[in-house]
Amino acid sequence: MNYKEILPNESPTLRHHNNKASLKATDLKHDFDFFNYILKLKIIARGNDFDVLYDCLDELENILCEIEFIDVTQGEVDFEDLKLFFILLDHPDFDIRVKNSICISLIILKSQDIGLYFYHHNLLEHILNRFEVENNLAMNYRMFDIIISLSSLNKSILVEILKVLPINVFDKLIEIKSVPDRFGEFLITISGYEHENVDFQIRLLEILQNLIEKKKEIMYLYIVKCIYQMIIFNSRFFDQKLLFSMNFTQFLRMMLFSNDYNIVVYTHKIIGKIIYHDFFLTENDINLLLHRYNDLLKNIVGSNINMICSYAKFLAKIIICNQDMGNQIVKTEFNHLPTMLNILEANEISFQQKINLTHLILSIISSLEYTALSHIIVELNIFDYLSFIFMSDKQNLIKIFLNFLVNLKNQFEVNGNVEFYQNFLRKIPLDEFLSLKNNSNQECIELIQIIIKFIENSK
């Protein structure tokens, strides 16, 4: 039912609208007077016709979905009228409570001024009180929508909201079938902010920790995404040691062997960032990682290449971080170098995937003894596969490659076979090094100068 058909005639402002033809929400949005509408809603709410009140809220929802924003400067504005929405949160009719909650969420999104009014007049406290007594999952879902809308007002409000939200609220939410994705996206959004407040970081990690303890597997992908974002987007302030003190390492070790490809990739990225603080992987973890990686190498298809390259970059970081585990990886993967080099030439591989795989290849050959190293250079024509590095702007990869060349020079000098190394370097045009020098950082420039000097002295 349209609200204009049931408004009492004793109100002059209402009579003005009653004289008009019934309007659809798409028509009404062009001259919508929000606060005038709230006055009409208040009059209807005083009556006992729940169907009429529901229809009014339904129409308001439709209008709010159509308009871009609420103009709080239009007409007579009295923010005190907004308290009607607080009252309707406790309305005896369930459908009205739900519809009212939807409207509140939309109103906050359409007007920051009204949203701030709601927040500063304890809407959050009211919602949390409702959570204590409300057992209906649909209503809990709508109240969560209000919390999300309030959180979007500004970062300081978001921080305050997370401080006061009881953990049991999230327990209730996660039981709602349609919530995990909504809840997960909310967590991902807030984890992407830069927060210098350690209490906020701890609070967010506590929420994730609770999901892990309750074994909410449907949330695992969101959890690893959140942790990764906290590390990357909050790199200046995030205290990585919290992941150790709050025992996230056990969860991350478990996620390394998830059957979900995306979870595994995010876990590689997370552990690759934090193992420099404390190497927490076990020998058994490394054996399982190598087993999985080698299984992928045996069945190379387009869909596997990204996973292969993710494993490769991760294993390369382990080689750098832990000598014993690194030796184990080098020993196992040495025989798979030809396969990895062939993947570098695959049509399906992207430039970034090449970079990831090359990290492992260079880490392996840089760890080889002289005899094995010279064999690799001769038999596999290693530079033919790695020349693409000169086109890369990845300083870390360039540095690894240059260190490899300098260490190679040192090994051949020690073993009295400088001529062999000179012949190898002649395959690389001097112009490539000069070009690289112009686009490198100081550390790489110093390595390039060592190589260029060696090339010039060997002429």
Q: Tokens for 4? A: 């204009």
- How many CB atoms sit inside 10 A of residue 148's CB? 20
Q: Where are the alpha helices (DSSP H) in 82-219?
A: 83-88, 94-110, 112-120, 123-133, 137-151, 155-164, 167-174, 179-191, 198-213
E strands in 3-95: none
Question: What are the angstrom distances between the C-alpha of 212 and each of 192, 266, 298, 406?
Answer: 20, 16, 34, 46
pLDDT, residue 392, reads 73
Contact 412, 397 (CB under 8 A): no
pLDDT, residue 382, reads 76
Tally of CA atoms within 13 A in the half-sphere of 246 that contains its CB: 20
pLDDT, residue 429, reads 67
Nearest-CA neighbor of 52 among 41, 66, 61? 41
Question: What are the angstrom distances between the C-alpha of 348 and each of 141, 294, 301, 361?
Answer: 43, 19, 9, 19
- How many CB atoms sit inside 10 A of residue 343's CB? 22
pLDDT, residue 458, reads 64
pLDDT, residue 171, reads 73
CA–CA distance, 85 with 100 (Å, rounded to integer):
7
Enumerate the domain spans of the chain. 371-459
> For the purposes of burial, counting CB atoms within 10 Å of the CB of 307, is it exposed (0-12), middle (13-18) or buried (19 or more)?
middle
pTM (2 d.p.): 0.78
Average pLDDT, consecutive stretches of 10 residues, N- to C-terminus, the chain (459 residues): 32 31 46 87 91 94 93 79 93 94 96 95 91 81 91 87 80 72 84 78 90 89 95 83 92 96 96 90 94 88 81 92 91 89 81 88 85 78 76 77 81 77 70 71 80 72
Contact 373, 408 (CB under 8 A): yes
User: 3-class DSSP state for residue 195?
Assistant: coil
